[in-house]
Amino acid sequence: MESYTVNDLAPVARQIRKEIIKMVYAAKSGHPGGSLSITDVLTALYFKEMNINPAKPDDPSRDILVMSKGHASPALYAALSLRGYFPAELLSGFRSINSKLEGHVHRGIPGVESSTGSLGQGLGVAIGFALASKLDGRNNRIYAILGDGEMEEGNIWESLLAGSKYRLGNLTAILDRNRIQLDGFTEDIMPLGNVAEKVKPFGWDVITIDGNSLNEVVNALEQAKKPREKPLFIVANTIKGKGVSYMENNPKYHGSPPANEEEYIQALKEIEEMQ
Amino acid sequence: MQKIERMESLRDAYGNELAALGEKNKDIVVLDADLSSSTKTGIFGKKFPDRFYNMGISEQSMVSTAAGLSLSGKTVFASTFAVFLSNTYNVIRQSICYNEAPVNFVVTHSGITVGEDGPTHQILEDVGIMSGLPNMKVIVPVDSIETVSVIDYLSEKKTSPYYVRLTREKFPVLNEKNYEFNEGKSVVFREGSDITIMAYGIMVSFALKASEILKGKGIDARVINMSSIKPLDRAAIVKAAKETGKIVTAEEHSIFNGLGSRVAEVTGEEYPVPILRIGMPDIFGKSGKGMELFDYFHIGVNDIVEKTDKFFKREYI
């Protein structure tokens, strides 16, 4: 896995995006928009940056990722499956009664570290992992992926305080700043504004990047690995629905699959043609 | 001559035992939410500052963080006042129970014995809230000795989370020093054949006092400590139903979703008998001295006597 270069990641990201579309279309439900926006970040983490071994999912020295925005389950499940945690055939059962792939992220699935779906909890859980890692003197890294709608949850801000208090230099939070939540645009529903400038005074290092640029994501994650005194917060500016024109920046596709066969085929075709 | 009661604090017992266990068990970590001098986790905190996390008045963050520590293999105790833990119901539901994270929540200041602080602080619904969560187990120690035994038990690796309900007030010591808590088992404190009073917490000592008065009225009441609310000792309930015909439940809690409800569920399924639920009737508490409030709300010793007497004599067609 270490042999993956940034150039190798683009086809993986395309494959994850296709799987997302296939999963939500087969299930006739699910959350494609926020899955497509975070795909590049997940690709860089699971295929280049994280120290993990799918054959040893419980290895104490592994890096740990908590997908706090648990509705991005299609993206996480696709990434885990392509990375070798479980067979790709299982993806087609997503959200169906005979499948283990629950609608939101579930810890019973190989590679998943914490169940999420009800928002706001994952950063605190990641802090727990980071504290345990520090206490035991491990050198692993802990990652939490947050949604920008999720930033409206009070628990996130409580946890930002705690991350700073305990100087968790082993913790990286990545914000999927796609600017859309279920009811519409974040800046209309509950303006988050300049989130970098809000998080900084909470005592975190903050980097802002284009979260759909694999180059920028990889660079930021490399910086995250440098020894640091504070936890790191990466604001990843992304496009909700990235890669599928009719889904991009469209709140409708926060929680709706392609509406018909035509939309489905178009989505797969457009993803195939992504650079 | 009446025996003089020895009163001991359950939270002192908790704090001291936790600090003692921390000595040999390095896996123990403790979290609190700015109440460590009241919950007594501060004793552990002073001794083992590296394994003690004061999360501030941020209960949701405390519970989320407890989940991560627990999933990392730590033996986690998390404490605050009972009423404040209920802020975090859905965090407990998802990050603890659904995650199967075996965190031990040991909460203090439950019920009306909180006293002067009043209704905002007197939670009377928590046993119901917590019992309803899949994977969660619920224990209410009756005295300082049972508290120590429960904490010892929870310091060994567990596979599910626990909710242990303690109080602000000192409670009478009812158990012998060598008592050992047995999950899912109740303890008969007084044998009796006419009626059974099932209780937990302070209400066990009240029920014992009531049973002495009832004896004078010719009623031989069995008194059982139901400290293990979930899992529940179903066998003891069915046995009481069969042998004494009527059951009274007594709890410092709402009569909804507490012990009374659980006992009625079991008898309803296994061996229907009349049940009288003594507890708070769907109302909030009030300020006052902790022990005065039981008479005020008609759930004190004399009320248990009167209600049990009436219930015992009542004929059902």
**pLDDT, tens digit, for every residue of A231-254?**
999 999 999 999 999 999 999 999
A203 near B CB under 8 A: no
Predicted confidence (pLDDT) at residue B43 exceeds the cutoff of 60: yes
Name, in order, each residue with C-beta under 8 angstroms of A197's C-beta and a sequence gap of 6 or more.
Answer: none
Contact A125, B64 (CB under 8 A): yes
How many Å lie between the alpha carbon of A124 and the closest alpha carbon of chain B? 5
- Residue A145, domain extent: 6-272
Number of domains in chain A: 1
Specify whether the CB–CB gap between A163 and A233 falls below 8 A. no
Residue B2 predicted with pLDDT over 80:
no
Residue A103 lies in a domain: yes
Residue A75 included in any domain: yes
Q: Look up the CATH number of the domain holding residue A172.
A: 3.40.50.970
B58 and A158 within 8 Å at the Cβ level: the answer is: yes
> N- to C-terminal Cα distance for chain B?
42
Tell me whether residue A166 is exposed, middle or buried, using C-beta atoms within 10 angstroms of its C-beta: 0 to 12, 13 to 18, 19 or more: middle
Residues 6+ apart with CB under 8 A from A236: A38, A41, A174, A175, A176, A177, A209, A210, A211, A217, A220
What are the chain B neighbours of A231 within 8 Å (beta carbons)? none
Which residue do the tokens 């699971």 mark?
A: A46
Sheet holding B187-190, edge to edge: B187-190, B221-225, B195-199, B247-254, B275-280
Concerning whether B59 is annotated as a catalytic residue, the answer is yes
pLDDT band at B4 (very low <50, low <70, confident <90, very high): confident
pLDDT more than 70, % of chain A: 99
How many Cβ contacts (< 8 angstroms) between chains A and B?
A: 107
- From the list B8, B17, B59, B252, the catalytic residue is B59
Sorting pLDDT into bands at 50, 70 and 90, what band is A3?
A: low
Q: Which residue of B has its CA nearest to A164?
A: B55
A127 touches B at CB < 8 Å: yes
Q: Indicate whether A209 belongs to any domain.
A: yes
Amino acid at B236: A
Query: Closest chain A residue to B100 measured between Cα atoms?
Result: A107
Give a yes or no: residue A1 inside a domain: no
- Which residues in chain B touch residue A127, judged by CB atoms under 8 angstroms apart? 61, 64-65, 68
Domain membership of residue A230 (yes or no) is yes
Banded model confidence at residue A2, pLDDT cuts 50, 70, 90? low
- CB–CB contact B65 A127 (8 Å): yes
What band does B101 get if pLDDT is binned at 50, 70 and 90?
Answer: very high
Within the 81-120 window of chain A, which residues sit less than 8 Å (CB to CB) from chain B? Answer: 106-107, 113-118, 120
Flag if A123 and B64 touch (Cβ within 8 Å): yes
pLDDT of residue A5: 87
Which chain B residues are Cβ-neighbours of A166 within 8 angstroms? 53
pLDDT at B1 over 70: no
User: Chain B residue with minimal CA distance to A156?
Assistant: B61
Query: pLDDT tens across A113-136, in order?
Result: 999 999 999 999 999 999 999 999
Walk me through the domains of chain B, giving residue ranges and CATH numbers: 8-172 (3.40.50.970), 187-312 (3.40.50.920)
The verdict on B96 touching A (C-beta cutoff 8 Å) is: no
Residue burial B268-294, b: 16+ Cβ < 10 Å; e: rest: eeeeebbbbbbbbeeeebeebebeebb
| CA distances for A67 relative to A117, A125, A136, B211, angstroms | 9, 10, 23, 56
